[in-house]
Amino acid sequence: EKMDRTTSTSMKDWIPFLGLFLYWFPLAIQSTNFVDLIEELGGDFSTSSLAAACGALISFFGTPYWGSLSDSLGRRTVVLICTAGQVCMYGLAAFTSSLPLFFLSRVIGGASSGLPPATQALIIDTTPQDQVSKKLGNMGAMTGVGFLVGVPLGGFIATNMGNHAPSVIAFAMSIANLAICYAFLVEPQRTTSQKTKKGSIIEELGVIFRRPFLRNLLLTRACQEIAQGILGNSWSEVQRSTLGLSAQSRGLIGMYMGALLTVIQTQIGTVSKMVGGPDRAITYGFASCLALAPLFYLASNVFQLVFLGSLWQVSSAVLLPLLNTKMSSECQPSEQGAILGASESTISLGAVLGPIITGYLLPVVPPLPFLLSCASFSIALGFFQAALSEKSKRKD
């Protein structure tokens, strides 16, 4: 009986991580041939940039809303609603032959983007503060595992079964995720004070943003994700168009990058200690990224591109979990969903600007997106140093 209870508790603890994996896994499957599918539906690379930006723009506003709503409505409820939205998104993408309907699927996906912040808040609700960075690192690793498996699988499926096939698989996986979350995900027990809201999402985020330390960390995240979005899209398009790599080859590269991300984020505590603590790990991560960004333009073959991508992945892997841990430690329990939703929405900001800047600047002025990414990493580092300075003033 004791063994059954332990097994049940262990399973309950892993359900949020499984849900995150099944959120990112279908996204990774569909991402490998995203541009190819748009072209099959009658668009081009610029159209695919707009499609990606369309969903990301909706997500930018929706993610903090869902994160804040999970503080009052409940983590499990928000996860189930948003997972149902993902089912609708992939189902529409899988079976449509119309470009406007594919755009609609992106809008639905963007509007139901609340699973990551709600799941993060759920995990933080049930985790001691000294274990939060480890758990958030494991969450980041779920992203890496999802892309590790999903990207090469999506490339293989698209190459052998057609451009709609990855969306069909993603549709099936999102249905499985909805069923698992409905059956096994447990709402954490929280006190009444933890559920109390101080006002609307705008008012709540306004209160959070007026705190200098949190404001600088959110601005750090925003600039980081803009830089990541620009560099990631430019790097992917160079693989596709300049080097002419197939979807399957791009998938194998994605698998390798996912493996790197997973290894670093599952060992986030060890990596942080090796370089002298979280603050130094973040600083070194930003410094490495801004030094690497302009070098991508100089890469002339796939080996150079993958080598630079490896260094970039290792440098950037520490940023998200460590920055989110810092923000979480500064918030009241009733603010966790809102602040994590705001942090997740910065990913959407990068996903909006990255494809647009890449789609319209890379064909015309190839070096410019890489230089803009470098500048954005530099600004992010500046905001992070301002946050550290603010924290030092408070101690004094």
SS3 196: coil
Predicted structure pTM score: 0.73
DSSP 239: I
What per-residue confidence (pLDDT) applies to 2?
A: 35
Contacts of 327 (CB under 8 A, 6+ apart): 214, 217, 218, 339, 340, 343
What per-residue confidence (pLDDT) applies to 172?
A: 96
How far is the C-alpha of 355 from the C-alpha of 350, rounded, in Å?
8
What per-residue confidence (pLDDT) applies to 47?
A: 85
Helix (H) or strand (E) holding 172: helix 165-184
DSSP string for 269-336: HHHHHHTTSHHHHHHHHHHHHHHHGGGGGG--SHHHHHHHHHHHHHHHTTHHHHHHHHHHHTS-GGGH
Let me know: does 370 contact 293? Beta carbons within 8 Å.
yes
Helix (H) or strand (E) holding 126: none
How many CB atoms within 10 Å of residue 129?
10
Map tokens 């933080």 to a residue: 124
Contacts of 36 (CB under 8 A, 6+ apart): 158, 163, 247
Kindly state the tokens that stand for 319.
Answer: 């940023």
Closest residue by Cα to residue 275 from 264, 284, 267, 266: 284
What per-residue confidence (pLDDT) applies to 9?
A: 46
Helix (H) or strand (E) holding 158: helix 132-161
DSSP string for 328-386: HHTS-GGGHHHHHHHHHHHHHHHHHHHHHHHHHHTTTSTHHHHHHHHHHHHHHHHHHHH
What per-residue confidence (pLDDT) applies to 5?
A: 35
Positive/negative CA dihedral, 78, 147, 259, 18 = positive
How far is the C-alpha of 289 from the C-alpha of 297, rounded, in Å?
14
Task: Flag residues of the chain having pLDDT under 70.
Answer: 1-12, 190-207, 395-396
- Cα 384 to its chain centre, rounded Å, is 20
SS3 69: helix
Closest residue by Cα to residue 250 from 73, 86, 36: 36
Q: Which runs of consecutive H residues, i.e. helices, occur in 74-131?
A: 75-95, 99-111, 115-125
What per-residue confidence (pLDDT) applies to 382?
A: 96
